[in-house]
Amino acid sequence: MEFRRPRGTRDFLPDETRRRRFVENVMRRTFERFGYEEIQTPTFETLELITAKSGEEIRSHLFHFKDKSNRDMALRPEFTAPVMRLYVNHLQTKPKPLKLYYFGNCFRYERPQSGRFREFWQAGVELIGSGYPEAEAEVIALAVETLRELRLKDFETHVGHVGILRKILEERGVGEEHQNIIMGLIDKGEKEQLELLLDKLKLGEDKDLVHKILGLRGGDEVIPKAASLLEGKKAQEEIEKLGQMLEKLRDFGIKDYRVNLGIARGLDYYTGMVFEIYDNKLKAQKQICGGGSYSLAEVFGGEPIPTCGFAFGFDRVVMAMEAERARYGEEDEKRFLIVTTGEKLLSKAIDISRMIREKFPCEVDLMRRRLGKALKYADSKGIPFVIIVGEDELKRGRVILRDMKTGTQREVPIERIIDVL
């Protein structure tokens, strides 16, 4: 009987795992350079936490189960809610801002397709305690910098603001529940349903305004255009905030963004600036990053506090690396295989491997292969250097070092092996 893995999950073989680890390390390094510290949260949480202010999109795709005490639990579909719970439980009194980052697997029961999985990974950050435009701008800048560090080129950063639409609706007496449904329909592109609901809510001329705002996208000229459309409305304040934030974003060296007031995001907790990054080389599921400003601490019993963050769809970033043929770093470029010309020399080979391993990855041939076969094995595994321990050389205190790329060999004194590399 053959066992198959569950739909929407994947196995990662060594080559792919190595590439994924490289991307993960670049992300971690970049987050840390901006002052973020890593945290970890449980893989499952109470259903109540996960569904609070999460939105229909998340709720309808949960892996949800009852534990043996009949409590409702869910595998985490994202990190923002768990991180805010962690903040309320442990970190409320710490100096602000708090800069937290995470890396881990998430679960959504979606229809699997290219770039959409049931188990996928997110790498993200949450900035807690500053609502200033420079804080929001720094968060977007960090996302873009991370992709630049990975040498991705063909991506677009779209920046919007859900507060504008929420304020228009609020001023018309539309409550939060309906606002959330509207945002969800916009996010999913369900135009007919949206029309029906907007008609039902009797928005008058503001229905037209909603459509005009949603259609606004382009460069910085969008800001004054939107401001004049919103003349005399509460929502005008929100567009001004977005303008100030974009100014700071330019200070961070990010100038090639697009203003896109049509972004709604699929989660209910967003309140202000929102952004999404798309990779143009990906065919389906181009969105590699999403984030924005939100309000959740008070939902979990904490004091209200400004918060913003983002999460990379880690798997999609890796796919974008492949699609853009971005280069993976030359980490572990120096790797070694040690082979002997006879079993008697194995102890010496193991001895040498321990010395080399202090500095570089090194393995001893464990199959007692003859030299020719060992070289083939090194080649197939992409190991760039082979050390051959032979009797004659050993008598002189030396071994042979073979460069697999060029095929050249030379004798080196054992005690100097690490120095000559």
Distances (CA, A) of 306 to 32, 148, 263: 21, 27, 20
Any contact of residue 122 with ligand HAM (CB under 6 A)?
yes
Which one of 19, 116, 207, 212 is in contact with ligand HAM (CB under 6 A)? Answer: 116
| Positions 316 through 335 that interact with ligand HAM (CB under 6 A) | 316
d(C-alpha 419, C-alpha 265), whole Å: 55
51 vs 76: CA distance, rounded Å? 10
Residue 129 in contact with ligand HAM, rule: CB under 6 A: no
Q: How is residue 240 written in tokens?
A: 């001004």
Q: Are 73 and 44 in contact (CB under 8 A)?
A: yes
Say whether residue 97 binds ligand HAM (CB under 6 A).
no
Binding window for ligand HAM (CB under 6 A); candidates: 39-47, 78-86, 161-169, 223-231: 78-86
Pick 275 or 336: Cβ nearer ligand HAM: 275
Note whether 126 binds ligand HAM by CB under 6 A.
yes
Residue bearing tokens 């939060």 = 176
Binding of residue 99 to ligand HAM (CB under 6 A): no
Candidate list 30, 98, 103, 124; residue touching ligand HAM; CB under 6 A: 124
315 binds ligand HAM (CB under 6 A): yes
Query: Can you tell me the distance from the alpha carbon of 191 to that of 175, in angstroms, rounded to the nearest whole number?
Result: 20
Cβ closer to ligand HAM: 110 or 134? 110
| Shortest Å, Cβ 275 to ligand HAM | 9
Q: Which of 98, 182, 264, 311 binds ligand HAM (CB under 6 A)?
A: 311
Instruction: Pick the closest to residue 166 from 178, 179, 184, 177 (CA basis).
Output: 179
How many residues interact with ligand HAM (rule CB under 6 A)? 26
Site string for ligand HAM, 270-309 (x = CB under 6 A): -----------------xxxxxx-x--------------x
CB-nearer residue toward ligand HAM: 22 or 117: 117
110 binds ligand HAM (CB under 6 A): yes
CB-side exposure of 189: number of CA atoms within 13 Å? 0
**Residue 89 Cα distances to 40, 41, 243, 343, angstroms:** 14, 12, 35, 60
Determine if 313 is a binding residue for ligand HAM (CB under 6 A): yes
Which of the ranges 108-116, 176-184, 224-232, 243-251 carries the binding residues for ligand HAM, by CB under 6 A? 108-116
Nearer to ligand HAM, 277 or 388 (CB): 277
At 254, list the tokens.
């990010």
Q: Does 160 engage in binding with ligand HAM (CB under 6 A)?
A: no
Determine if 136 is a binding residue for ligand HAM (CB under 6 A): no
Report which residue's Cβ sits closest to ligand HAM.
313
- Nearest approach in angstroms of CB 267 to ligand HAM is 6
Q: Is the Cβ of residue 173 or residue 304 nearer to ligand HAM in the bound state?
A: 304
> Which residues ranging from 354 to 413 are in contact with ligand HAM (CB under 6 A)?
none
156 is a contact residue toward ligand HAM (CB under 6 A): no
Binding site for ligand HAM (CB under 6 A): 78-80, 108, 110, 116-117, 120, 122, 124, 126, 266-267, 287-292, 294, 309-311, 313, 315-316
